[in-house]
Structure 1
Amino acid sequence: MSSAGLASRGPLRSAAFRWFLGGQAISLGGSAMAPVALAFGVLEVTDSAAWLSAVTTAVLVPMVATLLLGGGIADRYRRDTVLCLTSLGAGLTQVGVASLLLAHQHPAFLLPLSALNGIFQGLTKPALRGIVSNLATGRGLQQASSLLASVRNATRILGPAAAGLLTASVGGGWAIAVDAVSFLLAAAFFARMSLPSLPPRTKGGPTMASELREGWSYFSSKPWIWAVTLAFAVFNALNMGVWQILGPVIANATIGAEGWGLVLSARGAGALLASVVMVKLTVRRPMVPALSLMSLAAVPLILLGAGVNTLWLAVAAFVAGVVSEFFTVAWETVCNTHVPERLLSRVGAHDEFWSFVPIPIGQLATPFLAATFGMAMVAVTGGGVAAVAMLAPLLVPSLRKTEINRNGD
């Protein structure tokens, strides 16, 4: 029986899925530590939100720029091979970042390595979006997505708290070093997946350019997909700008690295709870509740601007984690059910590309807006607009009617 066939009865019965799950667990464990470690490592040297914004943007811009190419590669070649190579590359770049942080070098030296890491991330994400359909079928799709989400969220609980403690005690460089090792180990796991080889390409077959155009044609013809993408373009710009840039700055002056790590871990705990529940829970038409609840994910931005204490911010982050993961599992299952397997990585790349493009703009603009209007005003206003953005796609009838218990488009 094929690995996909086994996964239709239970994803964990597939050896390929187990190797993928293990690799993801290791990689995500390290990656969950990186944002806290990098943020406070940069602030330790510069005490500047602008430099933190520059380093973060140096990762995001190349990542977004290579997403569409990554989608074409992941639909054209074996996805396990793509993941193995990109994880190896990401691990090597993080070794360089860790070395610079441990040597207390100026963040300017981090920019080229951050950009290279962003390229590897851009090539990785579409393969991750498409590979679940290679490992699971039928009812196993949501179970596989939920198991992966559970692992992802467990690491989000432990990772930020561990990073906060490491950063406060010995510096952020050591947490980044752990992330580097995790990428290298994950590459070894992905190499053991051994997915079937793709059929040989015939002479005169479709070119990469024509396949990329096919992915765009499909994406642009489905309002139920691009409406959600546009909503997240707004949400991501505001959320990432306020939460990732202003969040550490505000926390550095109030609750500290340990408190900020606990807040991020609380969000991970909420997401873990939702992902565990979603292993068994199936909602026939999930997008209305998923998007409605996602509006609550903007509440932590508002509370951050209001200056609440660690407890209330952690509670709001916990709720945001619950609703965000409910949406993520529902959305991934809907896409895996309705988008043809051969197009999944390309369509997923467009989904992520157009929703990620505004993030660098938000992150670069946030420090200047905060300097003009104040951090509190920017955080509260951004949270309100982000909440409204999540409700806008519900105006699309085909999205409201989309089901996850049938196959086909």
Structure 2
Amino acid sequence: MGTTPVGRNFHLLTAAAVVTGLGSAGALIASAFAVLESGGSGTEVGLVAAARTVPLVLFLLVGGAVADRIPRHRVMVAANALNFLSQGAFGLLVLSGHAQLWQMMLLSALGGTGQAFFGPAAEGMVLSSVRGEGAGRAFAVFRVAMNGANIGGAALGGALVAAVGPGWVLLVDSLAFAVAGALRAFLDVSHVPEREPGEGMLADLREGWREVVGRPWLWAVVLQFAVVNAVVAAAEAVYGPLVAEEHLGGARPWGIALGAFGAGTVCGALLLTRWKPRRLLLTGALSVFPLALPSAALAVPVSAPTLVAVMFVSGLAVETFAVTWMLALHQEIPEEKFSRVSSYDWLGSVAMVPLATSLAGPVESLVGRPTALWGCSALIVLLTAAVLCVPDVRNLRRRSPAAPAPVPDQPTLKAPSGGSGEGTSSPS
């Protein structure tokens, strides 16, 4: 039996994630309706959404380097404070009835900047808050809480937008960031060794880059999800609503299908609280194949009940990948470099999403929607098959916390020459 994996930090981090998940899921809906209520069009809704993504991409690497230089909980609290202020200002602006597009884009960009610093620091803190053989169950419980909060937050946010308007929902999200920041301020970091002075931000980023490129398993999965996340976003954000409107009966069945995906992620995390796969990355990689099913289902297109079932299965599968990926990182990555490598992983996960969603329309006009959707499915299958060709992906085994490094007939993740290993995580 493993040691008890959780403690005060884990409980604080989980509670804070639930609070922000409830607030932020609703705020995504509220921000879109805030633009529409101010007289904006669908294009302007997209501009406000893009304004959040651009600084996220630009500052992720800097955020990872900062989180490896100073205590991560301070970075998280500062990022929460920035999100508290930006969302609060956004909400007040909307309630004033005089919101202008450039103002909403600026405040959205500030929110994306906060997330760029928060994300890499948060992953490092979650990974350092658990220990022992029960870490897998702890990670899964954390994911259950986070996914459940996102589902509940989206439902609650939609209802509140209809009942009281988007401005109040944005203020609730602002308050959620304040509460979460307060919880994270009480994290105990006495067990984390002090950072040694580095040679500068650029040197830290170069070191993080060497950690990534020195591990075939890491850069292979990052490249895989750079494309996978992009084509999934194009299918779900652009093609899905169009298929639903023309063939499935409109927004309601599409909303139910997305809800089924969320329910699948919760069930996948619950499954991983009990199941302990030995080959972590092999299990995770095989779990990516079902992500090709929603695009194929939309290409046919299948009936609404069938699409709901497909979305549930894909949600369960992607959560299996997410938990096994976190476990592999927890096992293989040195704590002191984790946030830098995490920032490269985050960058890979989000960098191509705006491009893919912006090109989805032109590609549909060029080749037709069914062909574009079949292409999305094919890319997911081909890239996942390619990742399975990497030996470390197939052979990495779960180790006991006290176990020594595997002998040659039990391959482990490859470390870069001249240094110890590190990595990161996150398909998002």
TM range (shorter): 0.7 to 0.9
- State which drifts further: 382-391 or 188-197: 382-391
Instruction: Give distance in 2, aligned partners of 1:46 and 1:366.
Output: 25
The amino acid of 2:265's aligned partner reads A
Q: Is 2:249 the counterpart of 1:240? A: no
Alpha-carbon deviation of 1:311?
Answer: 3.0
SS at match of 1:58: helix
User: In 1, are the aligned partners of 2:67 and 2:120 still within 8 Å (CA)?
Assistant: yes
Instruction: Give distance in 2, aligned partners of 1:381 and 1:44.
Output: 36
Q: Is 2:128 the counterpart of 1:127? A: no
Question: CA 1:96 to 1:176, structure 2 compared with 1: closer, same or farther past 3 Å?
Answer: same
Corresponding residue to 1:193 among 187, 197, 201: 187
Alignment of 1:71-86 (within 5 A): 71-86=64-79
Q: Alpha-carbon deviations, 1:288-318, whole Å to 9, x = none?
A: 2322221212322333454555433322221
Alpha-carbon deviation of 1:186?
Answer: 0.6
Instruction: Please report the TM-score for the alignment, with normalisation by the length of structure 2.
Output: 0.84
Q: Alpha-carbon deviations, 1:235-286, whole Å to 9, x = none?
A: 1111122323444566577655554443332212111111112122111103
SS at match of 1:404: coil
User: In 2, are the aligned partners of 1:303 and 1:380 still within 8 Å (CA)?
Assistant: no
Corresponding residue to 2:206 among 192, 200, 213: 213
The amino acid of 1:369's aligned partner reads V
User: In 1, are the aligned partners of 2:70 and 2:195 still within 8 Å (CA)?
Assistant: no
The amino acid of 1:210's aligned partner reads A
Alignment of 1:100-249 (within 5 A): 100-102=93-95, 103=97, 105=99, 107-196=101-190, 205-248=198-241
SS at match of 1:33: helix
Q: Is 2:334 the counterpart of 1:365? A: no
Number of aligned residue pairs: 400
Aligned partner of 1:274 in structure 2 is 268
User: In 2, are the aligned partners of 1:49 and 1:249 still within 8 Å (CA)?
Assistant: no
User: In 2, are the aligned partners of 1:233 and 1:354 still within 8 Å (CA)?
Assistant: yes
Aligned partner of 2:387 in structure 1 is 393
Alpha-carbon deviation of 1:117?
Answer: 1.0
Aligned partner of 1:61 in structure 2 is 54
**Percentage of identical aligned residues:** 31
User: In 2, are the aligned partners of 1:160 and 1:264 still within 8 Å (CA)?
Assistant: no
User: In 1, are the aligned partners of 2:195 and 2:336 still within 8 Å (CA)?
Assistant: no
Instruction: Give distance in 2, aligned partners of 1:331 and 1:200.
Output: 27
SS at match of 1:70: helix
The amino acid of 1:244's aligned partner reads A
SS at match of 2:288: helix
SS at match of 1:395: coil
Alignment of 1:280-291 (within 5 A): 280-291=274-285
Corresponding residue to 1:93 among 83, 86, 99: 86
Aligned partner of 1:3 in structure 2 is none
Instruction: Give distance in 2, aligned partners of 1:38 and 1:78.
Output: 32
Question: CA 1:303 to 1:54, structure 2 compared with 1: closer, same or farther past 3 Å?
Answer: farther
Q: Is 2:25 the counterpart of 1:50? A: no
Question: CA 1:370 to 1:258, structure 2 compared with 1: closer, same or farther past 3 Å?
Answer: same
Alpha-carbon deviation of 1:233?
Answer: 0.7
Q: Which structure's residues are more often helix, by fraction?
A: 1
The amino acid of 2:233's aligned partner reads M
Instruction: Please report the TM-score for the alignment, with normalisation by the length of structure 1.
Output: 0.87
- State which drifts further: 134-143 or 158-167: 158-167
The amino acid of 1:300's aligned partner reads P
Alpha-carbon deviation of 1:376?
Answer: 4.9
Instruction: Give distance in 1, aligned partners of 2:250 and 2:181.
Output: 34
Alpha-carbon deviation of 1:62?
Answer: 0.9
Aligned partner of 1:353 in structure 2 is 347
Q: Alpha-carbon deviations, 1:62-87, whole Å to 9, x = none?
A: 11211111111111111111111111
SS at match of 2:287: helix
Question: CA 1:100 to 1:260, structure 2 compared with 1: closer, same or farther past 3 Å?
Answer: farther
Instruction: Give distance in 2, aligned partners of 1:252 and 1:30.
Output: 29
Aligned partner of 2:417 in structure 1 is none
Aligned partner of 1:5 in structure 2 is none
Q: Note the aligned Cα RMSD (angstroms).
A: 2.8
The amino acid of 2:129's aligned partner reads L
Corresponding residue to 1:20 among 13, 16, 22: 13
User: In 2, are the aligned partners of 1:130 and 1:345 still within 8 Å (CA)?
Assistant: yes
User: In 2, are the aligned partners of 1:37 and 1:167 still within 8 Å (CA)?
Assistant: yes
Instruction: Give distance in 2, aligned partners of 1:285 and 1:257.
Output: 40
Question: CA 1:50 to 1:107, structure 2 compared with 1: closer, same or farther past 3 Å?
Answer: same
Question: CA 1:306 to 1:294, structure 2 compared with 1: closer, same or farther past 3 Å?
Answer: same
SS at match of 1:196: coil
Question: CA 1:197 to 1:406, structure 2 compared with 1: closer, same or farther past 3 Å?
Answer: closer
Question: CA 1:128 to 1:158, structure 2 compared with 1: closer, same or farther past 3 Å?
Answer: same
Instruction: Give distance in 1, aligned partners of 2:301 and 2:46.
Output: 21
